[in-house]
Amino acid sequence: MSKKNRTGVVYSTDPDFQYQSGDEPTAETLSPAQQSLKIWLVKLGGSKVVTTVRGFIGTDADLADLGKQLKAACGAGGSAKDDEILIQGDHRDKVLAWLTGKGYKAKKAGG
């Protein structure tokens, strides 16, 4: 391990000291049949609405890939971060149809 990654540890007098990096193991992406996704409609300030897909279990790269496919299917912009996918506008029906067509377990939730 590089010394550059050792933040917060200056010196230890304990001869058995083992530095804990704090890195969490990355989550493995579950298959579409094992995913249980919920589709929410979130109202932002003013008249803006965002379709949100929550409950994805997997790596950030797979989340970004799924978000990219959903944005293309809806013809809208958005982002995929913090374990959820945001799509601009009310596209709950399109997202639900697309996800169930790809084998995901998905349902509408909330507003």
CATH assignment of the domain containing 89 = 3.30.780.10
Upper half-sphere CA count for residue 68 (Cβ side, 13 Å): 6
Residue 10 lies in a domain: no
User: Which pLDDT does position 45 carry in this prediction?
Assistant: 84
Residue 67 lies in a domain: yes
Residue 11 lies in a domain: no
Q: What is the mean pLDDT of each run of 10 residues along the chain (111 residues)?
A: 58 77 69 92 90 93 95 95 93 95 92 52
Residue 24 lies in a domain: no
Residue 39 lies in a domain: yes
Residue 12 lies in a domain: no
- Could you tell me the residue range of the domain that residue 78 belongs to? 30-108
Measured between alpha carbons, how far is residue 9 from residues 4, 14, 17, 19 in Å? 11, 12, 11, 8
Residue with tokens 């897909």: 53
User: Which pLDDT does position 9 carry in this prediction?
Assistant: 62
User: Which pLDDT does position 92 carry in this prediction?
Assistant: 95
C-alpha angle 42-47-52 in degrees, rounded to nearest 5:
20
How many domains are there within the chain? Answer: 1
